[in-house]
């Protein structure tokens, strides 16, 4: 799809999953079970694995992380007024993987055993290593994430970001930077891993809009590689 078309059209991508390793390294906690892989046409180079984990593992992971991570709801200042972010979040990673966005300085909590295992599973599936993860808990459809790009200096100029969805299906919206209209909408389901390529953060924004009909929680885990040499 041409960039101009993406600026003017709103498209919902409903991918047909093709099973196989797609030329990538794949893995699972169950020997012999490989997640399905495909690139998504009409998107800025997005790739998708579904399912990443055996169903029983994904369900157990959702329950464990929702119940045990040290969730916080920080406040951000917009137009001189303080507001709580419309979701819960927890930042984990290596000891020196600090992160700053929207004026928030985030010191990493240690890797939990479950998150460390998942980090290695995600890295093996997509072929990229990560030293941190941002967990976002959307308690229901009233929680959301506004338009943004993950282009903070700590991530470097060409970041790969892997995003695992657990729980309720929510729409992942995309638009080109400078555009006002949504160009693409991708419904992300339970146990799907989405890989965002480096150029996406340079040229695109993404969001998770409110969906008031959604009553169930969604847990999203975005794995990143923090550039430790960045002057913060």
- Averaged confidence pLDDT in the chain: 84
The domain limits of the chain are 3-8+35-224
Q: What is the mean pLDDT of residues 88-117?
A: 91
CB 185 within 8 A of CB 173: yes
CB of 116 closer than 8 Å to CB of 132: no
Answer for the pair 185, 167: CB distance below 8 angstroms, yes or no: no
- Name the pairing type of β-strands 11-12 and 184-188: parallel
Domain 3-8+35-224 has CATH 3.40.30.10: no
For residues 23 and 39, is the Cβ–Cβ distance under 8 A?
no
Using a pLDDT cut of 70, give the percent of the chain over it: 83
| Rounded Cα–Cα distance for residues 115 and 4 (Å) | 40
Least confident interval from 66-70, 97-101, 108-112, 188-192: 97-101
Average confidence (pLDDT) over 188-204: 94
Q: What percent of the chain has pLDDT over 90?
A: 65
Span 55-60, mean pLDDT?
98
Arithmetic mean of pLDDT, 3-20: 38
12 has pLDDT over 60: no
pLDDT at position 51: 95
CB 196 within 8 A of CB 130: no
In this predicted model, what pLDDT tens digit does every residue of 125-184 receive, in sequence order? 999 999 999 999 999 999 999 999 988 878 888 899 999 999 999 999 999 999 999 999
What pLDDT is stored for residue 22 in this prediction? 34
């Amino acid at each position: 799809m041409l960039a101009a078309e993406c600026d003017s059209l709103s498209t919902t991508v409903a991918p047909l999953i093709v099973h196989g390793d797609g030329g990538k390294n794949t893995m699972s906690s169950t020997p012999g079970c490989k997640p399905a892989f495909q690139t998504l046409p009409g998107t800025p180079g997005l790739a998708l694995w579904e399912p990443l984990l055996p169903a029983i593992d994904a369900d157990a992971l959702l329950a464990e992380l929702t119940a045990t991570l040290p969730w916080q709801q920080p406040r951000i200042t917009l137009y001189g007024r303080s507001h709580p972010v419309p979701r819960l979040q927890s930042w984990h990673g290596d000891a020196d993987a600090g992160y700053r966005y929207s004026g928030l300085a985030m010191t990493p909590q240690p890797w939990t055993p479950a998150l460390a295992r998942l980090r290695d599973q995600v890295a093996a599936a997509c072929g990229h290593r990560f030293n941190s993860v941002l967990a976002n808990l959307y308690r229901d459809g009233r929680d959301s994430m506004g338009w943004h790009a993950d282009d903070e200096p700590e991530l470097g100029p060409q970041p790969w970001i892997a995003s695992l969805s657990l729980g309720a299906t929510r729409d992942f919206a995309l638009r080109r930077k400078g555009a006002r209209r949504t160009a693409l909408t991708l419904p992300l389901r339970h146990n799907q891993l989405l890989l965002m390529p480096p150029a996406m953060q340079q040229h695109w924004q993404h969001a998770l809009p409110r969906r008031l009909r959604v009553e169930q929680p969604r847990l999203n885990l975005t794995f990143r590689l923090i550039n430790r040499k960045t002057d913060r």
